[in-house]
Structure 1
Amino acid sequence: MTRDGARSLAVALAAGLVGAGGATLVGVPAAALIGSTVAVTLAAFLRLRPAIPGMLRNVAFLVIGVTLGAGVTPHFLSDIANWPVSLAMLAVTMAGVMVVSGALLQRGYGLDPVTARLATSPGALSYCLSLAASGIGDLRAVMVLQSLRLLVITLLLPPIIAVVGAGPDAAGLHSLGEIGYGASALILAVAFVAGLVGERVNLPAAYLLVGLTISAATHAAGLVEGRLPVPLTFLGFTVTGAVIGARFSGLTRQELSRLGSAGLAAASAALAISAVASLLTAWIVGLPFGQVWVAFAPGGVEAMSSMALSLGYDPVFVATHHVFRIVVLIAVMPLLLRFGTGR
């Protein structure tokens, strides 16, 4: 690596770590990813030329894939069987959000179909951003729109739900533990080799998809249980944020204003659609409207599960629906993107 390359890497990592740490301290949704992106974007605007080499970028994508795959566990599969009606309604809601919000972004703001699909995906933020960072769609538009979705839902949903009223006392938060560093290293090593093969055969976002597939398979089979250690996931999301932020150097004030308006419109539409669907589902299955809305709202699984716990709803119900949503999105997004490009 040249001296300039080392300097650019140091700038990206330093800014990313500061941004991720600061966002974590103040409780920003998807803190490591968004905080790092914002900080490195600022460094790019200041012409400090942040950059992440390809190999480090691939390792970060691999960590994200393995982290996402950890949500597919034997417990998750058994939980799905408990709520078939609400999960089916959630799938219909997801389709409605993507169709309505996608049409809004394409017709009202001129986004291309692929970017609109990635930007309106009601969840799987890191997956969609990693796909965009690999060259699929407009990365800057996807980042701004997806970040606004998380921010709007996280800020607006709690006060609205509080007005609706909390439900019964919640059970313990359904969360995954951590696997050891030895098992983590083994999974990452195997996935990295498979990612090299995927890259050779031109698999889109090869390291992300291979890491996701291997992790999901081993977790679903019960071979391992739990997420990668927090420091690894923190670094993985921080580096990915740095990759994204380094590509924001050309974003103008006019673009930011236009994307901000588009993001607020899309997020509001998604929130309204999920509210109507939640009201109908709550009436059908006999559960509190607020609980179903938190489960259907297109926010992050960790944030929504914590919100459910604080409002007195069942966090297992909420977490299962959000993980189900992410799994479905990851499964269908490649098909939707291929349809959008006409290939």
Structure 2
Amino acid sequence: MNSMSIESIFGRVLLTVLVAALGGTAFYLMDLPAAWLSGAMVFVALATLAGAPTLLPDKLRDTLFVLIGLSMGAGVRPDVLERIGEWPVSMALLVVVVVSVTLAGYVVLHFGAKWSRDTAFFGAIPGALNYVIALATERGADLPRIASSQSLRLFVLVAILPFAVVTSNGEPTGEGMSVIVSTPLEILLGLPLCLAASFLAVKLRVPGGWMTGAFFMSGGLNATGLLTVALPEFVVLPCFVMMGAMIGCRFANMTFRQFMSVLGASIAAFCAAFLTSIAGALLLSEMAGIPFGQALLAYAPGGLEVMTLLAFMLDLDPAFVAAHQIVRFTSMVLLLPLITVLVLGRRPT
């Protein structure tokens, strides 16, 4: 029985990886931006909604995050410490953008789609899905609608953000994956350090700990010149494909009927939220002289890991994007219980 279970899991994972590889290859051949990530995501999401038994186990996902975090550290330039002075302005504006994004989504879902106040509020919050679901459960909100809205937002973001960034910044140079080259010895030294940083980040409950721990360790080593840490392209590209597969698998708990029932409202709420993010990114770009695409990824209402990875793939500043996404996530986790009470009132006993 146990053996059959393992065989079944292996078969589902193999199917998921094959579909993801097919999608990444198709998008690459069409010369689309962030092809390996977005192509894998689209193909796996479609297969999942069609009823295919896709699966990416948590242990494999955590390993993937460590490798991706280590790789993205290669995109942190030595001048990152000099540029930290630019961040206070953008961090202050981030608060305004997060509040505005949530409000825009809420207005569309509650007044436009006629979702209940609780469901619309939690469906409009940008990111932190697991935490949002926990709070929504206590309030008795409609969990399938909230999960569907959140998953659709991330899906659409990954599908369109590369085009938005490339249109505003020009074609990526591809340097994100080949900025530096490590020797085998440097990888042997750097990998345990990054893994230890990931373990510590998870233990300290840092958002996206498996990836952010490795990323900041690798980025710190590369920025200071203490060690050159970068994985070869033949390791990095499969990681991009697997990340896309992971996003596509999020639709596993959603029936096609559920998907269609929330599609219109979720897309409308996403558009309102995304346009708000664009306005904030344009303002930041004008005020601080930061590339628009980089500002957009920092303010985008999506997942920390995915937005940082897109910055790396599109040859922007992953440290800037990661720092802002972490602050956004952490602030939400700390303040959401209070904000929920202020907006929705105390939970009925």
Given the two structures, how large is their TM-score scaled by the length of structure 2? 0.68
2:182 is equivalent to residue 179 of structure 1: yes
CA distance in 1, matches of 2:46, 2:7: 22
2:280 is equivalent to residue 247 of structure 1: no
Determine the structure 2 residue equivalent to 1:90: 90
Q: SS at 2:251's partner residue?
A: coil
List aligned pairs for 1:170-249, cutoff 5 A. 176-192=179-195, 195=198, 205-225=208-228, 227-249=230-252
Q: SS at 1:177's partner residue?
A: coil
| Offset of residue 148 of structure 1 | 3.1
CA distance in 2, matches of 1:198, 1:293: 30
| Offset of residue 174 of structure 1 | 7.2
Q: Name the amino acid aligned to 1:184.
A: I
2:300 is equivalent to residue 275 of structure 1: no
CA distance in 2, matches of 1:23, 1:42: 15
CA distance in 2, matches of 1:339, 1:114: 17
CA distance in 2, matches of 1:29, 1:68: 17
Cα 1:80/1:40, change in 2 over 3 Å: same
Q: Name the amino acid aligned to 2:325.
A: L
Percent of pairs identical after alignment? 17
CA distance in 1, matches of 2:291, 2:174: 16
Q: Name the amino acid aligned to 1:222.
A: G
Q: Name the amino acid aligned to 1:144.
A: L
| Offset of residue 233 of structure 1 | 2.2
Deviates more, 1:105-114 or 1:249-258: 105-114
Cα 1:178/1:23, change in 2 over 3 Å: farther
Determine the structure 2 residue equivalent to 1:75: 79
| Offset of residue 297 of structure 1 | 3.6
CA distance in 2, matches of 1:98, 1:115: 10
Per-residue CA deviations over 1:225-274 (Å, capped at 9, x if unaligned) read: 46432222222232222223223021521223322222222222222333
Q: SS at 2:56's partner residue?
A: coil
Cα 1:245/1:139, change in 2 over 3 Å: farther
2:114 is equivalent to residue 106 of structure 1: no
Note if contact 2:71-2:229 (Cα within 8 Å) is conserved in structure 1: no
2:75 is equivalent to residue 66 of structure 1: no
Note if contact 2:221-2:229 (Cα within 8 Å) is conserved in structure 1: no
Deviates more, 1:57-66 or 1:93-102: 93-102
Per-residue CA deviations over 1:167-210 (Å, capped at 9, x if unaligned) read: xxxxx997533434553354334433554566677766442233
2:333 is equivalent to residue 330 of structure 1: no
| Offset of residue 14 of structure 1 | 0.4
Give the one of 39, 43, 62 matched to 1:35: 39
Q: Which runs of 5+ in 2 are unaligned?
A: 110-118, 133-145, 301-309, 340-349
Note if contact 2:15-2:54 (Cα within 8 Å) is conserved in structure 1: yes
Determine the structure 2 residue equivalent to 1:315: none
Note if contact 1:24-1:31 (Cα within 8 Å) is conserved in structure 2: yes
Cα 1:292/1:201, change in 2 over 3 Å: closer
Per-residue CA deviations over 1:89-147 (Å, capped at 9, x if unaligned) read: 433443332221122123432455597232xxxxxxxxxxxx65xx4446654443244
CA distance in 1, matches of 2:95, 2:319: 16
* RMSD of Structure 2 on Structure 1 (CA): 3.8
Give the one of 282, 305, 311 matched to 1:301: 311
Determine the structure 1 residue equivalent to 2:153: 145
Note if contact 1:15-1:39 (Cα within 8 Å) is conserved in structure 2: yes
